[in-house]
Structure 1
């Protein structure tokens, strides 16, 4: 009797070619043709980070994986008093042969030594009954790669400091970075990177700041340095066997832009285009340009920066306006439903929102409180809807509309550093609880409106907010939500999320966006002609 093994490692493990060979095997003593040894496994488990497949490849069709050790542990289970392990290299030469006794729990294991990197290996286990042993396991396979890759980082947009090259981009603009790596064994799987920070600790080749390597070990990614001056990009490489390099620092200079884009309400990253802010499934906050052609975010804000530190999913987000404590880009407000606080993240870093938040105040002056109107709440806990209308005064600080106890309230300049804060009850009709508020912002002609969706019917209505001769605004149209003009129908079951970041396509009119029930992001021309950008992360 004989068994044939090997034959396919050469195609998957580089130069480690495996040849077919025949090995003489004593007559089997197991019944029904079954092996007396089962569950052969190598530790660590052979696999590939690029494919995510980890397998011992104990057949003639499965692609073998890689092990990041030259001394792996080989294990199996048997009812025999012992077992014999044999290992062959890709040329068919036996490099290991050892018999061990069976442990009380039925396991057997060995640790072969002297294995060579970059080489594919086959191995089998026989039950050891003495003379006339039994049927072995099928041949299992793996490759060995215990050395991390090598790589270089480069960018023509932001050349490395000291290279003598002139940057082609400015701070606040997106640059392309290229990483080139080599790995003599399993090949480069991915690169992990962070700008002006510390690489996160977690599963390799997963999460934000990760880019997959191509077959030639090269990868490109884009970053936007938000601070002018010296920046440090930190990169590390991971190969398919799981070997991780030491972090490499790439230092570059980002000059200040002498001609920055014009300020645009709704823009958080300083490119002059409004942005859509939506969480991904992992709880990170995605910043997606309102004129994007796909759902790929321009940047993300880590989940731990959200109120409570547990992610941005379920958090009410609003942005349209800023104060003069920083460059003209939207600040971010965040409210956890039912929470008593409204968190204000001032935008000092072009949408990274890496600084600490403050709490937005509701009253005018805590040292000289006014007479409070009936129904006024001391905190934000009853605010079921919140939207940022935008600037209503001379500055760019936003005003916030809320639905509380079914009524509509307006808070001017809540929590901002400059200007006076005011509040007023806009509607006492007690009917706003069944509506989703949407603030489209000002049109190019300066006109302002509020949109709302009736959650029962899906009807989208618009309400004009007109500016009086004295510069104040008239909110009379918001007295009753049923009186608005219907401009479309968007059933909640089909479009769970509706919003607007302002004029996304540059035609001077505000535009709607929506997230469908299957997490597709749609952008509209006004409220018509939807464009499907694809599935959100």
Structure 2
């Protein structure tokens, strides 16, 4: 079926065609009445959900993409039949016919052989008897069967050779095209993938065309090497071009930035959150809005039917296979889960949509804080199936300042999982059994290398800080984690108001770790430290 045209995308085109007199009104019309409702034109693909009506005399027309067998005109009536009349752009009548209503009051007719690109107006009358009833308001549509032409891509930042930008740096790409029928509406694009199916509804990989038929986007190719940017142009009728492939080369950065919490190799920590459709959004920590730099589609999630929604996604540090961007760990916390972690080694390309995750088992042997073997307690977890919390804590090894360590809660105690990417061992940090009922947040190291753990008491929303200072020999003192109630209170974030609370480290580069939260109405809020809230807007 044809769908409602987006006024935002069609305004410029609509003004042009109306001003040119493309949609002429019939010479004489009766006053619209209530006997017929819901006039629509279909089929034909357009830009947004719903049917194309074009019945607002000062608004935009509907556009259809078929001339033979022709568009179908449809309406609902309380009368036993309805009469359809169609006029061309010159006001000449090209259809005058009566159709019988079905059992639900639906009535329809079709018209073939319409000229491509011409504008048509139409009305429907209820027929209680011949000539009776008042018509609908005047509706309008155009026919456009041709796809846009002249599709091209240009970038001064990334070319097929000798690009001035490095992998992990943003570059501007400009799209161009033309359409002499309904007008150019948008471009759909994807880096190293296949463009999604659809029109121009706002979303990832869609940019509206300007009045000059161009649009520019900023893209950050994470991995070094050859890339393909695939682009399609879409007109207001929904006609889509064949894909245009723009090939370019992103050189390796000889001095790549290093920042814990960074997944796309630009030196800025990133916030990873699912959107309402289950896609995983990568939002830069220094962003002023919720616009993502990367979108990993829901279909690429490693497990589950809801995409990335409901999965725990943690990152802070990397192993040798993925330096210098965070290794990403994903866990399914739902009952009956496999007990594995899904591990994505990451060189900055953040290609979670194209690579398969490695399965990581829970450590089965234990060491103490000095890494000496010790006996594991009998009630220890042997998988990640029943852990209560999981965060990427930061490195506790001075030889690997960006190394991987996870912190989780098992049977009410804190456990350190040492570098799961290297089949590391577990260290039990507490024996008090008091850590159930707390959300764990890992802010990462401060400028002096000291670590910390933040905890939110789920029942009260109280946020506390627990110091994990770095000692003179390079080891860490975990004694402050024995009792979560003994931490320093640094704020209050009730779960009902802030269902999600986390930290990707220092978001603004001031040397201080920062908190972020998702509110109950799905707004992303960042903080300077744990205060001075900044609302970045709603997460789609």
Give the superposition deviation at 1:193: 0.8
Give the superposition deviation at 1:239: 1.4
What aligned pairs does 1:42-57 form with structure 2 within 5 A after superposition?
42-44=41-43, 49=47, 54-57=51-54
Structure 1 contact 503–510 (Cα < 8 Å) conserved = yes
Query: Does 1:223 pair with 2:219?
Result: yes
- 1:91 corresponds in structure 2 to 90
Q: Per the alignment, in what secondary structure is the counterpart of residue 391 of structure 1?
A: coil
Give the superposition deviation at 1:437: 0.8
State how far apart, in whole Å, the 2-side matches of 1:104 and 1:312 are. 45
State how far apart, in whole Å, the 2-side matches of 1:330 and 1:89 are. 61
What's the CA shift string for 1:222-263, capped at 9, x where partnerless? 1111232321111111112111111111112222223322x1
Query: Does 1:405 pair with 2:400?
Result: no
Give the superposition deviation at 1:450: 1.0
Give the superposition deviation at 1:470: 4.3
- 2:361 corresponds in structure 1 to 361
Give the superposition deviation at 1:440: 0.7
What aligned pairs does 1:387-466 form with structure 2 within 5 A after superposition?
387-393=391-397, 394-395=399-400, 396-414=402-420, 416-417=421-422, 421-466=424-469
What's the CA shift string for 1:369-420, capped at 9, x where partnerless? 9743132012111111111111112224311111122222221112x13xx6
- 1:257 corresponds in structure 2 to 253
Give the superposition deviation at 1:279: 1.3
Q: Per the alignment, in what secondary structure is the counterpart of residue 188 of structure 2?
A: strand
- 2:385 corresponds in structure 1 to 381
Q: Per the alignment, in what secondary structure is the counterpart of residue 236 of structure 1?
A: strand
Q: Per the alignment, in what secondary structure is the counterpart of residue 230 of structure 1?
A: strand
- Greater gyration radius: 1
Query: Does 1:531 pair with 2:534?
Result: yes
Query: Does 1:145 pair with 2:144?
Result: yes
- 2:319 corresponds in structure 1 to 323
State how far apart, in whole Å, the 2-side matches of 1:260 and 1:250 are. 25
The two structures have a TM-score, normalised by structure 2, of: 0.85
- Go from structure 1 to structure 2 and tell me whether the alpha carbon gap of 1:264 and 1:81 turns closer, same or farther (over 3 Å shift): closer
State how far apart, in whole Å, the 2-side matches of 1:317 and 1:34 are. 55
- Go from structure 1 to structure 2 and tell me whether the alpha carbon gap of 1:38 and 1:323 turns closer, same or farther (over 3 Å shift): closer
- 1:3 corresponds in structure 2 to none
Q: Per the alignment, in what secondary structure is the counterpart of residue 92 of structure 1?
A: coil
Give the superposition deviation at 1:153: 1.5
Give the superposition deviation at 1:466: 2.8
- 1:314 corresponds in structure 2 to 310
Structure 1 contact 191–205 (Cα < 8 Å) conserved = no
Q: Per the alignment, in what secondary structure is the counterpart of residue 90 of structure 1?
A: coil
State how far apart, in whole Å, the 2-side matches of 1:200 and 1:59 are. 31
Query: Does 1:121 pair with 2:120?
Result: yes
Structure 1 contact 522–532 (Cα < 8 Å) conserved = yes
- 2:516 corresponds in structure 1 to 513
Structure 2 contact 26–87 (Cα < 8 Å) conserved = no
Structure 1 contact 458–491 (Cα < 8 Å) conserved = yes
Q: Per the alignment, in what secondary structure is the counterpart of residue 295 of structure 1?
A: coil
Query: Does 1:341 pair with 2:337?
Result: no
- Go from structure 1 to structure 2 and tell me whether the alpha carbon gap of 1:83 and 1:529 turns closer, same or farther (over 3 Å shift): closer
Q: Which segment is superposed worse, 449-458 or 11-20? A: 11-20
Q: Per the alignment, in what secondary structure is the counterpart of residue 304 of structure 1?
A: helix
- Go from structure 1 to structure 2 and tell me whether the alpha carbon gap of 1:316 and 1:93 turns closer, same or farther (over 3 Å shift): same
Q: Which segment is superposed worse, 462-471 or 336-345? A: 462-471
Q: Per the alignment, in what secondary structure is the counterpart of residue 276 of structure 1?
A: strand
Q: Per the alignment, in what secondary structure is the counterpart of residue 27 of structure 2?
A: strand
Q: Per the alignment, in what secondary structure is the counterpart of residue 393 of structure 2?
A: strand
Structure 1 contact 441–448 (Cα < 8 Å) conserved = yes
State how far apart, in whole Å, the 1-side matches of 2:37 and 2:519 are. 49
Query: Does 1:279 pair with 2:274?
Result: yes
Structure 2 contact 168–223 (Cα < 8 Å) conserved = yes
- Go from structure 1 to structure 2 and tell me whether the alpha carbon gap of 1:452 and 1:13 turns closer, same or farther (over 3 Å shift): same
Give the superposition deviation at 1:102: 3.9
State how far apart, in whole Å, the 1-side matches of 2:34 and 2:534 are. 59
State how far apart, in whole Å, the 2-side matches of 1:223 and 1:468 are. 43
Runs of 4+ aligned residues of structure 1 deviating over 6 Å after TM superposition are 77-83, 127-130
What's the CA shift string for 1:463-505, capped at 9, x where partnerless? 1213344433221111111111122222223222221111222
State how far apart, in whole Å, the 2-side matches of 1:519 and 1:304 are. 22
Q: Per the alignment, in what secondary structure is the counterpart of residue 498 of structure 1?
A: strand
State how far apart, in whole Å, the 2-side matches of 1:534 and 1:504 are. 17
Query: Does 1:299 pair with 2:294?
Result: yes
Structure 1 contact 407–427 (Cα < 8 Å) conserved = yes
Give the superposition deviation at 1:517: 2.1
Structure 2 contact 41–52 (Cα < 8 Å) conserved = no
Q: Per the alignment, in what secondary structure is the counterpart of residue 234 of structure 2?
A: strand
- 1:157 corresponds in structure 2 to 157
- 1:28 corresponds in structure 2 to none
Q: Structure 1: where are the runs of 5+ without partners?
A: 1-8, 26-31
Give the superposition deviation at 1:114: 2.5
What's the CA shift string for 1:139-167, capped at 9, x where partnerless? 432111121112221112123x3xxx852
Number of residue pairs the alignment of both structures matches: 509
State how far apart, in whole Å, the 2-side matches of 1:379 and 1:444 are. 34
- Go from structure 1 to structure 2 and tell me whether the alpha carbon gap of 1:75 and 1:508 turns closer, same or farther (over 3 Å shift): closer
The two structures have a TM-score, normalised by structure 1, of: 0.85
Structure 1 contact 13–186 (Cα < 8 Å) conserved = no
State how far apart, in whole Å, the 2-side matches of 1:246 and 1:401 are. 49
- Go from structure 1 to structure 2 and tell me whether the alpha carbon gap of 1:284 and 1:299 turns closer, same or farther (over 3 Å shift): same
What aligned pairs does 1:31-70 form with structure 2 within 5 A after superposition?
40-44=39-43, 49=47, 54-58=51-55, 60-61=57-58, 63-70=60-67
Partner residue of 1:242 out of 231, 238, 243: 238
Give the superposition deviation at 1:73: 2.2
State how far apart, in whole Å, the 1-side matches of 2:461 and 2:251 are. 48
